[in-house]
Structure 1
Amino acid sequence: MVGKTTHSLNEYQALRALMESGTTSKAAIRLGLSQSAVSRSIASLEARTGRLLFERDAGRLRPTHEAAQMNRRLDPLFEALDRIDGPPDVAQETLRIIAPPTYAHRFLVHHIATFLKINPHFFVSLEVSPSEDVIRGILERRFDIGLTGVELSRDGVKLTPYRTSSAVCAMAVDHPLVGLDVVRPEDLDGQQLIALTHRHARRAQLERALHGCRSTPKIVAEVSTAFAAVDLAKEGLGLAIVNPFPVVHYRSDEVIFKPFASHIEYRSYFVTPDHGAASGIARAFMRHLRLHTATDDFSQKA
């Protein structure tokens, strides 16, 4: 006699919460449980299925391929539960978006709002995460679409060009270099500079451009986003070399942007799963962004 497979909704809920939250503490808060209860549910699920679902990497729990597969297979179950718990007469198609802070704050929230006003039958979920998590989230199929400025080519994801731009120099309206039409690397010699952290590939490109002309600015601060760099420049702390898109859309009246003479170029991409065509709602949102992104002097359609 073949034994019955025992299913536990609590285990499946713990798996999904941990996949979407990233840590046991966040998953526990989401489920209203203790961290130990979440850990026990995951351990029980691994023991019952004989699969390793999470690996510990530098103090973080990283889901395995088996976990991603199981999570995808659970979609119909949780969709059915949502339909049972939710209003029976409302059927909304959901778009799951993931983007880093520079794209998510201000820029995406505005376009999500206009998109939903035009399409009130849609529902949008927005996750704000670092760029490396955007690729991972699409790979694990936890999101339908992402935005990124990082050119990471990975099997399983598709990068669709969205915008291109060249580096600009951001400065306060009363900065001594404000009269220049174009800022060159040599102009930064001795100037106070707000730099992006070294995890940004463009930081190394800027350092090479400065080294090539023996220009040595004084780095007074390091930040992780272009918005933070520009905001500090606005406060008069120094100059910032950044990707103008989409920062220039929200700071053009408060900060002066000047072209920066260098080979530093930026590309923004839509990130979607590389298996068949993107969903209809994802394609609709990409069309909406392309159509409604305002023009500026520093970026162009890709």
Structure 2
Amino acid sequence: MATKTWHSLPEYQAFRALMESGTTSKAAIRLGLSQSAISRSVSSLESRTGRILFERDGGRLRATNDAAQLNRRLDLLFEALDRIDGPPEPAQETLRIVAPPTYAHRFLVHHIATFLKINPHYFVSLEVSSSEEVIRGILDERFDLGFTGVELSRDGVKLTPYRTSGAVCVMASDHPLAEKRMIDPVDLHDQALIALTHRHVRRAQLEKILHACRSVPRIVAEVSTSFAAVDLAMEGLGLTVVNPFPVVQYRSDDLVFRPFASQIEYRSYFVTPDHRPVHGVVRAFMRHLKLHTAKDPFSKKA
């Protein structure tokens, strides 16, 4: 005869509070219990399920993969309880986003607007900053979700691939190279080039490719974002080599995007904390973005 499975809501509540708070003291304050009560409930849950949910790492509790899986399965239960008890606390309805200008301007603004129209009970805060500040902001827990096109790996953050793309040349529609279907590095010789600043890894990659084929463009301007580089190209100052995503989504008027024959590859990432659960509103926005990002010929889903 099969053993009947039983469930303990207090155990699940203690487990959920510990997952979201990160420490037994914070979980205890959140539930109005003692730390020992939290520990007993989690230990009982581990004993009942036969799984190790938390491990000690340098004096801190680290959730295991089993804990992450159980936490995801409990989403439906706590969402149902929220609907029974009433609307969630305001803090659970707030999404704090940080992103570099290329992602923030127009692209994220548009998707935030459509997301809030569908989900008016959410509130979104958007901060525009550098990729380095994106990582730091997630580590400092000032933001829930970040975006970056730079692989800045740090302990405590998780980079989830979102889009991949190859390099493109962008120029005004009347540029002499606009008639070509693909731009080769040799085509850039003696062409007016709008370059990214040297702090960008992609600048060194491009220079190495051009040097290999003895192609020497005339650098007429340096900028810190592909957003600015594409805008200068639209003004007819020259051409630029950039990551097409997401600028191709909203920078098509009077511009031509052509594949650049090189091994340069770009990845766009979601940035989330690695040591605490991702809130439901974060997952909801990531899902919304994946579903509603328009297709383009230069990038694809990761």
| TM-score, length basis structure 1 | 0.70
CA apart distance, 1:90: 9.6
Q: Residue 237 of structure 2 corresponds to which residue in structure 1?
A: 237
Q: What secondary structure, in the 3-state scheme, does the structure 2 residue paired with 1:251 have?
A: coil
Answering whether residue 172 of structure 2 is matched by residue 202 of structure 1, we say no
- Cα 1:242–1:173 shift into 2, 3 Å: same
Q: Residue 101 of structure 1 corresponds to which residue in structure 2?
A: 101
Q: How does 1:255-270 map to 2 (within 5 A)?
A: 255-270=255-270
CA distance in 2, matches of 1:272, 1:120: 23
CA apart distance, 1:91: 5.0
CA apart distance, 1:179: 1.1
Q: What secondary structure, in the 3-state scheme, does the structure 2 residue paired with 1:294 have?
A: coil
Answering whether residue 180 of structure 2 is matched by residue 177 of structure 1, we say no
Q: Residue 32 of structure 2 corresponds to which residue in structure 1?
A: none
Q: What secondary structure, in the 3-state scheme, does the structure 2 residue paired with 1:269 have?
A: strand
Q: Deviations over 1:88-131 (max 9, x none)?
A: x9954100000000000100011001111111110001110011
Farther off after superposition, 112-121 or 245-254? 245-254
CA apart distance, 1:277: 3.0
Q: What secondary structure, in the 3-state scheme, does the structure 2 residue paired with 1:177 have?
A: helix
Q: Residue 191 of structure 2 corresponds to which residue in structure 1?
A: 191
Q: How does 1:81-230 map to 2 (within 5 A)?
A: 92=90, 93-230=93-230
CA distance in 1, matches of 2:176, 2:151: 35
| TM-score, length basis structure 2 | 0.70
CA distance in 1, matches of 2:208, 2:149: 20
- Cα 1:91–1:120 shift into 2, 3 Å: farther
CA distance in 2, matches of 1:300, 1:200: 23
CA apart distance, 1:227: 1.2
Q: Residue 272 of structure 1 corresponds to which residue in structure 2?
A: 272
User: Where do 5+ consecutive residues of structure 1 fail to align?
Assistant: 1-88
Q: What secondary structure, in the 3-state scheme, does the structure 1 residue paired with 2:134 have?
A: helix
Q: How does 1:21-40 map to 2 (within 5 A)?
A: none
Q: What secondary structure, in the 3-state scheme, does the structure 2 residue paired with 1:230 have?
A: helix
Q: Residue 86 of structure 1 corresponds to which residue in structure 2?
A: none
